[in-house]
Amino acid sequence: MTDYTSPVKTTFELQRKTIEQGQNAVAQAMDFQQRIGSAAVDSVDAQESAQRKLVELQQETLHSVLDAFEGAVPGAEDATTELRTTVDDQYETVLDNHAEVFENLHSELKDGLDSYDELNDEYLDAFDEFVASLVELHEDFEEQSVEAVEELEEQADELQAQLDDMANQMRDMTEQATDAVEA
């Protein structure tokens, strides 16, 4: 008896593996997008630090210029002290505003990324449920298909047995007729 269900089962198994690979590809793509978002948020921190250092370097450079001016011009100490205080106050304001802007930017990006991640997780959960339902339906269809092939196989075997019986009967009748003619 030939097993006709093996190719059917193999085909369904390959189809399910393809569905699972597609599901994994979608999950990996979503994970990649989440990592890109996290990297963007992290880059804001690095950008803020670099810009802060640049502003601080500018302030130090201005202090060096004032130090040089103070050393080169006698009696300029009072004027440079007042100018230094004004510069420091202005740089303090710039640095405070700078920190606030980047804190707000980081917070907004982080909130947006958190919302995206939450939505992404909900999408993946829904997608996983869809794929699970699809695989379940696919397995049910496979079961029905295998049963149909097995029934067809049984019917073919029964038909073959009937044909064999008929062939044996015809051979027996032919032999009986030949024996009767010869007798």
Print the SS3 string covering 111-146.
Answer: HHHHHHHHHHHHHHHHHHHHHHHHHHHHHHHHHHHH
In this prediction, residue 91 has a pLDDT band, given cuts at 50, 70 and 90, of very high
Compute the average pLDDT of residues 154-181. 90
User: What's the pTM value of the predicted model, to 2 decimals?
Assistant: 0.63
Which tokens is 145 given?
């298909």
Cα gap 52→135, rounded to integer Å: 55
Q: Residue 103 contacts by C-beta under 8 Å, 6 or more apart in sequence? A: none
Q: Is the pLDDT of residue 3 over 70?
A: no
**pLDDT digit string (tens) for 73-85?**
888 888 889 989 9
Instruction: Give the model confidence (pLDDT) of 142-160 as tens digits.
Output: 999 889 888 988 999 999 9
Structure tokens at 173: 């009748």
% of the chain at pLDDT higher than 90:
62
pLDDT higher than 60, residue 1: no
Please give the distance of CA 31 from its chain centroid, rounded to a whole number.
Answer: 4
> Is 90 exceeded by the pLDDT of residue 177?
no
Contact 76, 70 (CB under 8 A): yes
Domain boundaries, the chain: 5-142
pLDDT at 126: 95
